[in-house]
Amino acid sequence: MSIVVLDKVSKKYRLSRLGSKSIREELGRMMNNLKPSSRGQAGSDEFYAVKEVDLAVKRGETIGFIGPNGSGKSTLLKLLARIIYPSEGKIMVGGSVASLIEVGAGFHPELTGRENIFLYGSIMGMKKAEVAKKFDRIVEFSEMEKFIDTPVKRYSSGMYVRLGFAVAAHINPAVLLVDEVLAVGDANFQSKCQQRIEQLRRGGMTIAFVSHDMPAVERLCDRVVFISKGQIKAVGKPQDVISIYYNEVLFAKKSSTGLAQNNTGLAIESQTSLYGQNAEILSVKFFNGDGQETDTISTGDKLTARIHYRTYTQIEDPVFELLFYSPDDRLYTHLTTAINGTNIDSLPDEGIVEFDCSEFGLTPGIYKTDAIFSQRGSVAPYDLKPRQYILKVLPGKSVRGMFYNPQQWRLLPPAETISVQSADSNFG
Ligand SMILES: Nc1ncnc2c1ncn2[C@@H]1O[C@H](COP(=O)(O)OP(=O)(O)OP(=O)(O)O)[C@@H](O)[C@H]1O
Ligand SMILES: [Mg+2]
């Protein structure tokens, strides 16, 4: 049973009015539209923020919207929330809608937090007594007790969002719409919001969720819609759609890493070595489980990396390392022969050192890799290739948490259980 149906929905905007997004301006625009247009011929500077979108959302479904900046995600949610109206097409929503789309939207700036909670409740068709019953829970969730009698115009954006989400998530709408705005909340509050969304979802609420946080989308959503230039590019299982998104948008863009691509797809920043006098790293290549050279694997896949080196002097006790960084330069994992017990006694002048992992644990994303060739215990490496090799990771084995861990679970047979227990009691 569908609770939300979009039938060939389009939203047209004028380029010349770009950037004005508040409800007040939106209202002004609607009023103006009633007057005959004083502008040049219609359609000349119009564009579609959302174009011919067909979508049916089932009752109880959590649906995620992903896509690049400006692709129309927020516009779609605003259409569902009836903050704006479609230029063409029809929207059917079978129940009340609560939304958290823009920071501060839905709040009256001169009113206090307390007054706004009641105002919002009444807009949602709730009786004052009903809101009063939920009031304490809303305030407690928002952690805004101290500021609840302050006019919301004095709130910070994070404070707005705390109160906005707390209200939207406690008044029991049929459909809850949540946009990326949650990202302005601090990490603590964001995780609290995600837990609440999870709870509401299990309680059977229909939720539409816009986010650039792919792990959160994968975790929270039953179905994901990928939007590009106002149109639906893909709809389906989170993993599948996120893969398409990564492939089409993130991985295709050179500028996201600032790196150029060579014909193997491996990106090379420049051929500069910081070192390389006594020994050199010539290349790093990645291979998948089929032994094919690649720059893309999936979480939990087999990964082989080969470091091709050359030496120009006698090298004692060499160490090889690979470090993987996210685009914002956080180190995700550091692989090194120095700590895994690999000792290389005699090193040919030129050769390949291979790293092998049967189930590689990085989560979906794009990683830049440092390769280091050094002598154990020495500060200056022989050679360091900084952020020079790119590895792209697609959704694969499912991840709960920060990284994938290979795992085996089993129920011990009774005989073993007894022997383990008696061993335990010896230690106890
Ligand atoms: N009120 C408006 N008037 C004119 N153009 C608008 C208005 N609101 C949005 N747009 C335009 O519509 C397009 C889609 O915007 P939208 O906010 O839906 O993108 P988005 O997918 O939510 O992006 P982001 O990831 O950055 O939040 C953009 O080109 C935007 O500039
Ligand atoms: Mg948006």
Per-residue pLDDT tens digits for 275-308: 778 899 999 999 999 999 999 999 999 999 999 9
Residue 404 lies in a domain: no
Domain end marker among 186, 221, 250: 250
| Structure token pair of residue 427 | 């230690």
Q: Closest Cα to atom 20, ligand 1: which residue? A: 70
Which of 276, 344, 335, 281 has its CA nearest to residue 308? 281
Task: Report yes or no: 65 and 209 within 8 Å, Cβ to Cβ.
Answer: yes
Q: Following CA atoms 329, 333, 337, 338 in sequence, which dihedral angle do they give, to the nearest 10 degrees?
A: 80
The verdict on 238 and 332 lying in the same domain is no
Whether residue 203 has pLDDT greater than 80: yes
What is d(CA 246, CA 240) in angstroms, rounded to the nearest whole number? 10
The verdict on 314 and 174 lying in the same domain is no
CB atoms within 10 A of CB 83: 20
Residue 199 lies in a domain: yes
> Which residue among 20, 75, 226 is best mutated to probe the pocket of ligand 1, counting the most ligand atoms within 8 A of its Cβ?
75
The verdict on 378 and 277 lying in the same domain is yes
Domain end marker among 224, 250, 276: 250
The verdict on 212 and 278 lying in the same domain is no
E strand map for 77-149 = 88-93, 97-100
The verdict on 286 and 147 lying in the same domain is no
What is d(CA 257, CA 171) in angstroms, rounded to the nearest whole number? 43
Task: Report yes or no: 322 and 355 within 8 Å, Cβ to Cβ.
Answer: yes
Q: Are strands 175-178 and 206-210 parallel, antiparallel or unpaired?
A: parallel
Which helix (DSSP H) or strand (DSSP E) does residue 279 occupy?
strand 279-287
Residue 405 lies in a domain: no
Q: Closest Cα to atom 28, ligand 1: which residue? A: 70
> Which residue among 10, 14, 30, 71 is best mutated to probe the pocket of ligand 1, counting the most ligand atoms within 8 A of its Cβ?
71
Task: Report yes or no: 284 and 322 within 8 Å, Cβ to Cβ.
Answer: yes
Query: HEC string of 104-140?
Result: CCCCCCCCEHHHHHHHHHHHCCCCHHHHHHHHHHHHH
Task: Look at residue 201 in the predicted model and tell me its pLDDT.
Answer: 92
CB atoms within 10 A of CB 126: 19
Task: Look at residue 270 in the predicted model and tell me its pLDDT.
Answer: 39
Q: For residue range 213-272, what is the model confidence (pLDDT) as tens digits?
A: 877 888 889 999 999 999 999 999 988 898 888 777 766 644 333 333 333 333 334 344
Q: Closest Cα to atom 26, ligand 1: which residue? A: 69
- CA–centroid distance, residue 209 to ligand 1 (Å): 16
User: Which one has a higher pLDDT value, 210 or 402?
Assistant: 210
The CA–CA distances, whole Å, from 24 to 263, 274, 426 equal: 51, 56, 74
Residue 403 lies in a domain: no
- CA–centroid distance, residue 98 to ligand 1 (Å): 20
Give the number of C-alpha atoms closer than 13 A to the C-alpha of residue 190, restricted to the C-beta side: 13
Q: Closest Cα to atom 5, ligand 1: which residue? A: 18
The verdict on 239 and 323 lying in the same domain is no
Task: Report yes or no: 209 and 62 within 8 Å, Cβ to Cβ.
Answer: yes
The verdict on 336 and 364 lying in the same domain is yes
Q: For residue range 87-124, what is the model confidence (pLDDT) as tens digits?
A: 999 999 999 898 888 777 778 999 999 999 999 888 87
Task: Look at residue 424 in the predicted model and tell me its pLDDT.
Answer: 65
- CA–centroid distance, residue 181 to ligand 2 (Å): 8
Q: Which domain holds residue 327?
A: 267-394
The verdict on 25 and 166 lying in the same domain is yes
Nearest-atom number in ligand 1 for the CA of 25 is 1
Task: Look at residue 398 in the predicted model and tell me its pLDDT.
Answer: 85
> Which residue among 20, 29, 53, 73 is best mutated to probe the pocket of ligand 1, counting the most ligand atoms within 8 A of its Cβ?
73
CA-based radius of gyration for the chain: 27
| Structure token pair of residue 201 | 């979802």
Whether residue 310 has pLDDT greater than 50: yes
CB burial string 377-402: b at 16+ within 10 A, e below: eeeebbbbbbbbbbbbbbbbbebeee
Nearest-atom number in ligand 1 for the CA of 67 is 21
Q: What CATH number is attached to the domain comprising 311?
A: 2.70.50.60
| Structure token pair of residue 9 | 């929905």
Chain position carrying tokens 């609607």: 30
Q: Closest Cα to atom 18, ligand 1: which residue? A: 72
Task: Look at residue 268 in the predicted model and tell me its pLDDT.
Answer: 37
The CA–CA distances, whole Å, from 306 to 14, 121, 269, 293, 354 equal: 53, 61, 19, 10, 4
Q: Is 37 exposed, middle or buried (0-12, 13-18, 19+ CB in 10 A)?
A: exposed
The verdict on 236 and 105 lying in the same domain is yes
Residue 408 lies in a domain: no
| Ligand nearest the Cα atom of residue 50 | 1
Residue 298 lies in a domain: yes
CB atoms within 10 A of CB 137: 12
User: Which one has a higher pLDDT value, 258 or 337?
Assistant: 337
Read off φ and ψ for residue 34, nearest 5 degrees: -70, -30
Q: What CATH number is attached to the domain comprising 92?
A: 3.40.50.300
Whether residue 53 has pLDDT greater than 90: yes
Q: Closest Cα to atom 17, ligand 1: which residue? A: 74
The CA–CA distances, whole Å, from 90 to 36, 58, 349, 398, 423 equal: 25, 17, 71, 37, 69
Whether residue 186 has pLDDT greater than 50: yes
Which of 228, 182, 268 has its CA nearest to residue 71? 228
Q: Closest Cα to atom 24, ligand 1: which residue? A: 69
Question: What are the counts of helices (DSSP H) followed by strands (DSSP E) for the chain?
Answer: 9, 19
The verdict on 113 and 164 lying in the same domain is yes
Whether residue 33 has pLDDT greater than 70: no
Q: Closest Cα to atom 27, ligand 1: which residue? A: 69
- CA–centroid distance, residue 47 to ligand 1 (Å): 11
Which of 133, 79, 120 has its CA nearest to residue 101? 79
The verdict on 287 and 198 lying in the same domain is no
Task: Report yes or no: 306 and 389 within 8 Å, Cβ to Cβ.
Answer: no
| Ligand nearest the Cα atom of residue 178 | 2
Residue 410 lies in a domain: no
Q: Where are the alpha helices (DSSP H) in 231-370?
A: 238-245
Q: Count how many domains the chain has.
A: 2
The verdict on 226 and 306 lying in the same domain is no
Q: Quickly state the pLDDT bin for 191 (edges 50, 70, 90).
A: confident
The residues facing 5 across adjacent strands are: 56, 92
Chain position carrying tokens 């939203």: 11
Taking the complete model, does pTM exceed 0.85, yes or no?
A: no
- CA–centroid distance, residue 71 to ligand 1 (Å): 7
| Ligand nearest the Cα atom of residue 65 | 1
Residues with CB under 6 A from ligand 1: 13, 17-18, 20-21, 49, 67, 69-75, 180
Nearest-atom number in ligand 1 for the CA of 77 is 18
Nearest-atom number in ligand 1 for the CA of 72 is 18
Q: For residue range 372-426, what is the model confidence (pLDDT) as tens digits?
A: 998 887 767 888 888 889 999 999 998 888 889 988 888 988 888 887 777 766 5
Task: Look at residue 34 in the predicted model and tell me its pLDDT.
Answer: 53
Residue 412 lies in a domain: no
422: left (phi over 0), alpha (psi -120 to 50) or beta: alpha
Report the percent of the chain where pLDDT is more than 90. Answer: 48
Domain end marker among 219, 250, 281: 250
Q: Are strands 206-210 and 62-66 parallel, antiparallel or unpaired?
A: parallel
> Which residue among 13, 101, 228 is best mutated to probe the pocket of ligand 1, counting the most ligand atoms within 8 A of its Cβ?
13
Q: Quickly state the pLDDT bin for 66 (edges 50, 70, 90).
A: very high
- CA–centroid distance, residue 258 to ligand 2 (Å): 24
Report the percent of the chain where pLDDT is more than 70. Answer: 85
